[in-house]
Structure 1
Amino acid sequence: MGTNRENGSLYTKIDGKVAVVEFGHPASNSFTSELLGRLTAELDKLSENSNISVIVLKSEGDRAFCAGASFDELVAVSNLEEGKVFFSGFAHVINAMRMCSKIIVGRVQGKTVGGGVGLAAACDYVFATEASAIRLSELSIGIAPLVIAPAVERKIGAAAISELSLAPTEWKNAYWVKEKGLFSKVFDDITELDKELDFFAQKLAAYNPDALEELKKVLWKNTSHWDKLLLERAAITGKLALSDFTKNAISKFKK
């Protein structure tokens, strides 16, 4: 199902027991609130679909995987409630991925920033290309990666998330990301990645779906408090987004 390009697009294609969910936006596959809401609803729907066992999450094109939250919407945040609602978008998606009964395999074909890193971290297994460097740029625009931190830290640990978030202008290459445990496999190019990913997803989908579901619960143990935690973090981030520091940084960034 597509939508107008301004809010991005979301398509789901089901191939046997594998559902491929593809999101896209002209601004480097960034997320508007509406698109985040639609992705959350789609993951909830697929979680209930007994005909599928595996979800592949991917984005459009052959360049950036995801540039995080929509800059235009971030600039437009004008009060605390709007700020909380805006940053809750990623909170809801991460919680939907966590609670989803299906194994989610991420396909990261290029650079990933901010909320996009959180999205990749909330996948259960991630295929990436060599071009898939990551960056948590939040501090450079006056906010902090608070909402996605639990998902990222769960994969790479406190030391690595410190290294990543405190150097907001520095890219970490795909091999650093794999070494830290956020990427499972790194390939030379997209063609090779897609061939291996397709093989992997079909193989995974052939296993006992009940076993996959029980394993997923175990992999995400001790995260049930995230329902509340991520929304609290969204409220704090919303407050930071209203600061003069952030407004100035963003307007400079946009120019």
Structure 2
Amino acid sequence: MSNYVKLDINNGIGTVEFFTEQSNSLPGDILKKLADTITEAGNDPEIKVIILKSGGNRTFCAGASFDELMAVDSPENGKKFFMGFANVINAMRKCPKFIIGRLQGKAVGGGIGLAASVDYCFASKHSAIKLSELALGIGPFVVGPAIERKVGLSAMSQMAMNPDEFYDPKWAHQKGLFGKLYDDAAALDKAVNQLAEKLAAYNPEAMAELKKVFWEGTEHWDELLAQRAEMSGKLVLSEFTRNFIQKFKDK
């Protein structure tokens, strides 16, 4: 299968689905299309609620494309690389429709940022999470605000300081990242669809106003996430990260 982002509309529900062959890791072109598609769905009067999901049966999202990370050759290109996830998070934040997340499997790095930026997240029992950035010599700077907003500084810092450790879905549920957990994909999809159908019948104006309330205090994120992307763009050129990437290439 080729990489894609697609939007399907059915009975007021807009389903945004992304897929890449490398464990749903996201290169820059797919991130741009994902941000644009979420914005498009948010502006479509036919859509009352949005579901965000990834293709395949395993990993939900392995974060940013490592191939593109290895290709960064300047601070400017580094910032551009990290702005990919910043733009998706801001698109989700500004979207006037509720976004329901559907996680069928693991989320790493930027994938947790996506899970933290939806308004309600359903996950399977296979949806372990890991913030791996520090091991690469950078940090979860861009996705950090979204994750901290959802689980708190303590839980976010625990994950950030243990970049080699996967955290159990039950832990993520207890911390508030996941609303509910399910044993299999069938039960997961049933729950996602049931909530989406309920929300699609509610007053769109009331939901839009309620979403504004949910995201109060994040109005400065356009600037904040751009600053964080610039920070990451510089660090990715550090000797530590270059050595890490070289060792990865030599494997």
Alignment TM-score, normalising by the size of structure 1 = 0.96
Pairs within 5 Å for 1:50-89? 50-89=45-84
The offset of 1:53, in angstroms, is 1.1
Q: RMSD across aligned C-alpha pairs, in angstroms?
A: 1.0
Pairs within 5 Å for 1:176-195? 176-195=171-190
In the other structure, the counterpart of 1:135 is 130
Alpha-carbon distance in 1 for matches of 2:16, 2:8: 7
Pairs within 5 Å for 1:43-122? 43-122=38-117
Identity %: 52
Offset from partner CA, 1:142-189 (integer Å, 9 cap, x none) = 110000000000000010011110000001011100100010010011
In the other structure, the counterpart of 2:198 is 203
In the other structure, the counterpart of 1:36 is 31
The offset of 1:110, in angstroms, is 0.2
Alpha-carbon distance in 2 for matches of 1:99, 1:18: 18
The offset of 1:251, in angstroms, is 3.1
In the other structure, the counterpart of 1:170 is 165
The offset of 1:101, in angstroms, is 0.6
Offset from partner CA, 1:33-61 (integer Å, 9 cap, x none) = 01010111111111111111111000011
Say which SS state the counterpart of residue 22 (structure 1) adopts. Answer: strand
In the other structure, the counterpart of 1:147 is 142
| Amino acid in the other structure paired with 1:213 | A
The offset of 1:204, in angstroms, is 1.1
Task: Give aligned pairs, total.
Answer: 250
Q: Flag structure 2 segments of 5+ consecutive residues without an equivalent.
A: none
Alignment TM-score, normalising by the size of structure 2 = 0.98
Q: Flag structure 1 segments of 5+ consecutive residues without an equivalent.
A: none
| Amino acid in the other structure paired with 2:68 | E
Say which SS state the counterpart of residue 73 (structure 1) adopts. Answer: helix
Deviation >6 Å, runs of 4+:
none
In the other structure, the counterpart of 1:242 is 237
Deviates more, 1:21-30 or 1:239-248: 239-248
Alpha-carbon distance in 2 for matches of 1:171, 1:80: 30
In the other structure, the counterpart of 2:247 is 252
